[in-house]
């Protein structure tokens, strides 16, 4: 996953940039660090695989976060980029900790 491409593409395009650390790394232990790095580099969103029992998932289990890992990453991202939560809410998107359930 080439994080350095994010700011380059943002300068060239008016479109939002969404990074995929799940497929970009293929490793569960790399999804959170690369997700944080992508957001810090300017990504407008993240695409991540989440599964209640990734070790028994029918596909992509090796790169899927467990629910608790996803919740922890979301908490970390809210510290890195606090406006994300407000932006998600304004678009009708819901996260567990944003007061909508």
**Three-state SS for 1?**
coil
Query: Treating both helix axes as pointing N-terminal to C-terminal, what angle do 28-40 and 67-80 enclose, rounded to 10 degrees?
Result: 20
Domain ranges of the chain: 5-90
Evaluate if residue 35 carries a pLDDT over 70. Answer: yes
**Predicted pLDDT at 1:** 83
Counting Cα atoms < 13 Å in the Cβ hemisphere of 43 gives 21
Can you tell me the mean pLDDT for 64-77? 94
Query: pTM here?
Result: 0.77
């Amino acid at each position: 996953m080439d994080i350095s491409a994010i700011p380059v593409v943002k300068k060239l395009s008016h479109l939002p940039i969404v990074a995929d650390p799940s497929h970009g790394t293929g490793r569960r232990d790399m999804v959170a660090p690369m997700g944080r790095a992508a957001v810090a580099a300017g990504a407008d969103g993240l695409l991540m695989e989440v599964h209640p029992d990734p070790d028994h998932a029918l596909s992509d289990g090796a790169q899927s976060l467990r629910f608790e890992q996803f919740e922890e990453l979301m908490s970390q991202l809210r510290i890195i980029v606090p406006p994300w939560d407000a932006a998600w809410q304004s678009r009708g998107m819901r996260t567990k900790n944003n007061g909508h359930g």
